[in-house]
Structure 1
């Protein structure tokens, strides 16, 4: 088997034509869905970027035990498992978080890898004396750096070196993918993980894509919203959304070039293509921009998944209603190459669903370390928050004490205890480190735009009558059922005692660990 796993970042499901979107032209994603199986109820697991990728690599939820961080020594990565049985795995990505402290153990799980430089605040180009006044005039005040550690200045420097379309990261990433295929398409038993940081912010795309979405805005460059409440003018909202649309259109075109390549070399007969994302993004819906700080509405949590497998070509264009999530990708990728998942995996292979739709799970929990624990059964979504976000106990369990862009502080590690391991740590004990807190006293998983939580009220939505999640409902029976399912799924994932206590749930006996 040959597998091409294409992962975009912040690919908004309802913006895609194959999921009913109409404001953005995405004919290539639609074209792919017409020859593949499309999953209509696919959800995130852990958020944001690297927690989602740990879910993806291990087939387990990350957010119940730790925040953003590296793969742990006891983690069983799909890529390393495939390598162990002779499948060649290759990562091509411009997702620079892999090369920061908090992602540093992922890319080395592959047989080989290639890093495309320059996205967002990747420390790519050096400029000792950047033209600060020119940048101040060139970019909207919303995008100006707010201190020496704000990576927006590095982004401005990087963008100075992206003059032509070929300089942009998405084209360079796909070109590296074509180079790999040129050299290896006739070989067998490989997996290419082709990952684009786009359409993650900043929403910078070449002019020919941006011209498709006129707004009338004439101010400085405005293509990077901050993760905050919506306060912009209507025209500024249009401009930001238009820039996202332009970037999504570029992703669509370059993904289409991959489809063209598959056609040209008749690769559909022996190659599986898997398309997905890590999470979505709020573009002023619910009066919020971004992710992390606000509740995980479906614009963030309900994500695309489309799979084309040569053995299921007869199912082309079909859709599946089974409830799936990111943790299912790991056992699916193993299954594609004839490998069974380890006993620690909680996800399910989706191979049987390619043949026909069938129930996979009753409910799925998802969330971010320190925020709500959320659940959906496909009909309802329920966001369960602690009564007081400042008084909850929360700990990071890790042997790789690294945050997004730094190691754990010595002062934090000085408070660490040695804790008994979990059912997935292969008998290995862990450091138990009190979670960092923000100025409000809320535990936080990593610094930056997602360093605090707001709108932290427990709410229930009925997706059948309110798919946009605009009107919370009260239904004690439904809430009790979903809360029971949260507890059962947390126990199944061997969540620590404090994960139950913060939600006012009883702690299972087996979770009473020291």
Structure 2
């Protein structure tokens, strides 16, 4: 038995024709026609690395820690497959966060893995200037995010096949061609695109933007902040995002071509999803992380095709924590091998139409910000009870975060070491972890800061997303909010929320 799992970073659900969008994605459309397309699929922990930890462990983690390493006590999908059934696990990725602080241990358990370098500001080719470190000085009139590393990386993209995500898809397709007749493998294909910067050859942009449509600067990389772009510039960025989505789709097609060539659909399950979405002007925002957990980021696509399963649509509430139990069931591995209870549930019964429910409701969000709940009809964002955003702790045995460590005045000041504790604080594992009071953590990533309640996360909001999918008209109904609050609390209990999270949220 074989499984191909495809993760396209920042794949915006609302742009895909399978979900009513107008991006040009013939290969995702082609996969959708063979798949069960999930209409009520949600990100759990965001952004990038928390979302990957959800997938690999089957457990929500955003209530315990922000961005960070896989923990030494985590039991990953790839480790279970290779350890329990001698299944070859192979990764192809261009997600450079796997090789920097905050991305430790995610490749552990893969039989073999490859990371193609050069995405975004990945410092693989950065050169010095005469005075040492080259300063990040954007061109005059530039808007958005600028770095010399990103500029240098782009200078290496001379043909389409120099782009890191293209390499990832191409190498995965070559691997599948070479190994199509092997058995018992799990292939993880992870393209960083269509994550920003929205950089691709111009002929993809020409599919969306004709001469005369736009004559301003060619912006490609919004900042993680309220939208600073004009309406025309915002539309240009949306078209650029669609263009990059189309390039990603083209090379997804190379993998599907191998599936077709050898009729691998008869013995191979294939899953396509993303980690999260992205704002492109909606609610006045660009990017992700700092704003309320709106649908633009957390309502995500999922398509899954399996031998003997008829294609169609599924409206059950699902999350990426469900990938692990789905793959285990497909390979015939009992959940008895799990060292800890997981939060995910297999999607296969819903795909086979044996049930129309996976989760009655679920929660999602960013660490230290609002906690969101949904049952597929309503979304409820619960804000911290006061501006202190306390009590709040980070629990980890691997004290690293994005490009930083918790120590040496890098993340945590030496004078605050006395406030760091270590013990068996998590209810679901006896492995000792550090407990960091959130207010001593100084993270050099403004969009993901959690010291104090952010003004972007200060409101408790309730929406009927069947009547108001854009989440523009909050509902003021105390009885309905009370019912949603009770359901949110039950989900937090089911997902092993640390006790202080209930207090922080006023529950």
TM-score, L = length of structure 2: 0.92
What is the Cα deviation at residue 231 of structure 1? 2.8
C-alpha deviations, 1:417-443, integer Å up to 9, x for none?
A: 123242432x21221111146xxxxx8
Structure 1, unaligned stretches of length 5 or more?
A: 146-151, 438-442, 506-514
Q: Which residue of 2 aligns with 1:424?
A: 428
Q: 2: CA distance between counterparts of 1:445 and 1:419?
A: 23
Q: Which residue of 2 aligns with 1:440?
A: none
Which segment is superposed worse, 121-130 or 276-285? 121-130
What is the Cα deviation at residue 134 of structure 1? 12
What is the Cα deviation at residue 446 of structure 1? 6.5
Which segment is superposed worse, 215-224 or 85-94? 215-224
1:283 aligned to 249, 256, 280, which one?
280
Structure 2, unaligned stretches of length 5 or more?
A: none
C-alpha deviations, 1:168-221, integer Å up to 9, x for none?
A: 112111111022113321110000000001000000011111111216333443
Q: Which residue of 2 aligns with 1:509?
A: none
Does residue 380 (structure 1) correspond to residue 375 (structure 2)? The answer is no
Q: 2: CA distance between counterparts of 1:133 and 1:224?
A: 18
Does residue 435 (structure 1) correspond to residue 438 (structure 2)? The answer is yes
Q: Which residue of 2 aligns with 1:62?
A: 61
Q: How does 1:166-185 map to 2 (within 5 A)?
A: 166-185=161-180
Classify the secondary structure of the residue corresponding to 2:434. Answer: strand
Q: Which residue of 2 aligns with 1:393?
A: 391
C-alpha deviations, 1:356-390, integer Å up to 9, x for none?
A: 15112211000111100100011100000013233
What is the Cα deviation at residue 476 of structure 1? 1.6
Q: 1: CA distance between counterparts of 2:417 and 2:300?
A: 36
Q: Which residue of 2 aligns with 1:222?
A: 219
CA contact (8 A) 1:331 1:340 kept: no
Using a 3 Å threshold, how does the CA distance of structure 1 residues 206 and 460 change in structure 2: closer, same or farther? same
> Structure 1: which 4+ aligned runs deviate by more than 6 Å?
130-135, 443-446
Does residue 141 (structure 1) correspond to residue 142 (structure 2)? The answer is yes
What is the Cα deviation at residue 33 of structure 1? 0.6
Q: Which residue of 1 aligns with 2:364?
A: 366
Give the CA RMSD over aligned residues: 2.0
Which segment is superposed worse, 324-333 or 334-343? 334-343
Q: 2: CA distance between counterparts of 1:275 and 1:447?
A: 29
CA contact (8 A) 2:38 2:301 kept: yes
Q: 2: CA distance between counterparts of 1:28 and 1:413?
A: 52
Q: 2: CA distance between counterparts of 1:266 and 1:324?
A: 29
Q: Which residue of 2 aligns with 1:101?
A: 101
Does residue 319 (structure 1) correspond to residue 316 (structure 2)? The answer is no
Q: 2: CA distance between counterparts of 1:94 and 1:211?
A: 25
Q: 1: CA distance between counterparts of 2:303 and 2:377?
A: 21
Q: 2: CA distance between counterparts of 1:450 and 1:243?
A: 25
What is the Cα deviation at residue 46 of structure 1? 0.4
Classify the secondary structure of the residue corresponding to 2:269. Answer: strand
What is the Cα deviation at residue 136 of structure 1? 4.1
CA contact (8 A) 1:384 1:503 kept: yes
CA contact (8 A) 1:68 1:446 kept: no
CA contact (8 A) 1:417 1:431 kept: yes
